[in-house]
Amino acid sequence: MSSNTLRRKPTQGSAPVLQFIQTVGKVTGGTLLGLTMLGSSVIAGGLVGLAISFRNLPDVRVLRNYVPSETTHIYDVNGKLLASLHGEANREVVPLDKIDPDLKRAVLAIEDSYFYQHQGVNPGAIVRAFVANWKSGGTVEGGSTVTMQLVKNLFLTPKRAISRKIAESVLALRLEQIFKKDQILEMYLNQVYWGHNTYGAETAAESYFGKSAANLTLAEAAMMAGLIQAPESLSPFVDYKAAKRRQLDVLNRMKELKWITPQEEETAKKQKIKLGQITSFRSSQMPYVTEAAIQELTRRFGKDAILKGGMRVQTTVDFKLQRIAEEVVQQGHASLQYRGLYADQMALVAVDPRTHFVKAMVGGVDYRKSQYNRAIQSLRQPGSAFKPFVYYTAFASGKYSPESIINDSPVSYPDGYEYYSPQNYDGSFYGPIPIRRALELSRNVPAVKIGQDVGLNKVIETCRSIGIKSPIDPVVSLPLGAVDLTPLEMAGAYATFASNGWYSETTFIVQVTDNSGNVLLDNTPKPQPVLDPWAVASLNSVLQGVVERGTATAAQIGRPAAGKTGTTSSERDIWFVGYVPQLAAAVWVGNDDYRPLGHGATGGGFVAPIWRDFMLRALQDEPVETFKPASDFNRP
């Protein structure tokens, strides 16, 4: 942008001292010309002297590498904005050519119409301000140039004092020696405060008018420029009439400078302004997802980088699936209440087995009432939903197959100073039973026996290999879920079964870039084979039987699906975790205070139907896929 762009005649005489002399002459009516010239020389010489003596002022050269704090934006996997995060300053930095020319003209017209003629300080404006303030007996006019305002905002305190004004002048002179005019204007328009914690032209335009700063009309540009003087009191959100009056002042000034025509002024005056919404500190559309992403970002970059770094964060979550998950949780919770189950909370996590990207996650029934995210923070016992880890380990050992016979009969094991005698849910024993049937019916005693035979440390190794990081102790009752895990861990682990043993770290983030598109984090999946394919295929076959004819028939969705119910002996936690090749999902139901849910509360009876409702809707447009059979692989 140049002075020609502003459509005004250049001021005669480019030296600031000459401008100062001419202006003083006008103010005093030309009297005492010699005294005026002497005074202006003293001022000019004084500025030079101050420039030498003010060596303790900040070095403006640091602005060559200056990066202003900027708002971080979080999106879903398809680019839909979910949340914007910032500290004090809500700002998006844009280059000067991305700001509408009308806004640049309007700002300069009302703030510094001689911007392209002065060298950082406008003596004429200072004299006019001095006279105006002297006449009024107070501060009514500042006389600051755009350059002076910029250095004040970046380096100095807002305290009104002569010393600060002198420091402003010195820094402004220095700044104009280093940077071009357009560079200074770009910094200013990205730095200036526009009210409501909104900084910079782009964010202000989005807030006030719901559009980019590149697409403003003259009327909108004039209203925005007018706000700089007193952004809070002149805000159209606060006092639209005051904002409109100030807009007319800006338009009139632009006309006086011949930067717009009278016809353009009249058109702008008549244009109806459609206001947007304040964008600062808006709540997330999906708060549980946003907070999970923030936790992951904080571990990698730190909190300060998130609030000030201007990151563009693409999450793994699909907006459509997330909304389905939220609706299913709401409806499912209401259904549980209707059926007499005393369950206050629920969590749901869905993971894509092909990438281990989290596609949907709900951390509670109502975020407004409780911000605690049970999907990733709540450690709960999985009950029998833990058994697949035991049976996979058994199949991978080469000692067992789905058709192997295990004796479902009374047994006791030393457990500290006592003996532990596992019991089945119904208190009965079936005697010799195929492993397939034992898992379909969720028999407890066979699971404990197999855990002892293959070794509980081997079971723990299996858990670690598929992403479970919570503490696990090799207690005798571990195969029955005597361990605390999160729904996210369960969904991610089952997703590895669904992918036939291929694992990537479960994540909420696809990619992070800065505002210029430079990649800061790339979570492109790098799947690694971590499980034996025959053992996984065998487990998938058995877990399909759980859905087809076992404890989870309520989870049938009209396509091949595998999964496992979970019910703790105290009936404090009930689960269903299941999957198809394209999607794995874990659903947990319980109470935050660990109150029992009530007699007869089981994962198969109460949670499997909720899982089914989610999967039916989530897979509506997905083709039917089958699991690979164990016969495709060699047995270990």
What are the residue numbers of the active site?
Answer: 111, 384
- How far apart CA 407 and CA 424 sit, in angstroms, is 13
- How far apart CA 612 and CA 471 sit, in angstroms, is 30
What SS3 state is found at 512? strand
Q: How do strand 583-590 and strand 573-580 relate by DSSP bridges?
A: antiparallel
**Closest CA relative to residue 558, chosen from 613, 519, 491:** 613
**DSSP per-residue letters across 437-479:** HHHHTT-HHHHHHHHHHH-HHHHHHHHHHTT--S-----TTGG
Q: Are 531 and 518 in contact (CB under 8 A)?
A: no
Ramachandran category for residue 556: left, alpha or beta (phi over 0 → left; psi -120 to 50 → alpha): beta
What SS3 state is found at 346? strand
What are the respective helix, strand and coil percentages of the chain, to the nearest 5? 45, 15, 40
Helix (H) or strand (E) holding 577: strand 573-580
For 88, half-sphere exposure in the C-beta direction (CA atoms, 13 angstrom radius) is 4
- How far apart CA 395 and CA 21 sit, in angstroms, is 95
Q: How do strand 312-315 and strand 509-513 relate by DSSP bridges?
A: antiparallel
Buried b or exposed e, range 492-531, using 16+ CB within 10 angstroms: bbbbbbbbbbbbbebbbbbbbbebeeeebbebebebeebb
User: Tokens at residue 33, please?
Assistant: 């010309």
Residue 186's DSSP bridge partners are: none
Which residues are within 8 A (CB) of 399 and not within 5 positions of it... i.e. 6 or more apart? Answer: 453, 454
Indicate the DSSP class of residue 179. Answer: S
Residue 502's DSSP bridge partners are: 529
The amino acid that residue 297 corresponds to is L
Residue 413's DSSP bridge partners are: 420
For 543, half-sphere exposure in the C-beta direction (CA atoms, 13 angstrom radius) is 32
Backbone angles phi, psi at 562, to 5 degrees: -125, 155
User: Tokens at residue 113, please?
Assistant: 């119409």
**Closest CA relative to residue 76, chosen from 401, 316, 259, 238:** 316
Report the residue count for the chain: 636
For 360, half-sphere exposure in the C-beta direction (CA atoms, 13 angstrom radius) is 28
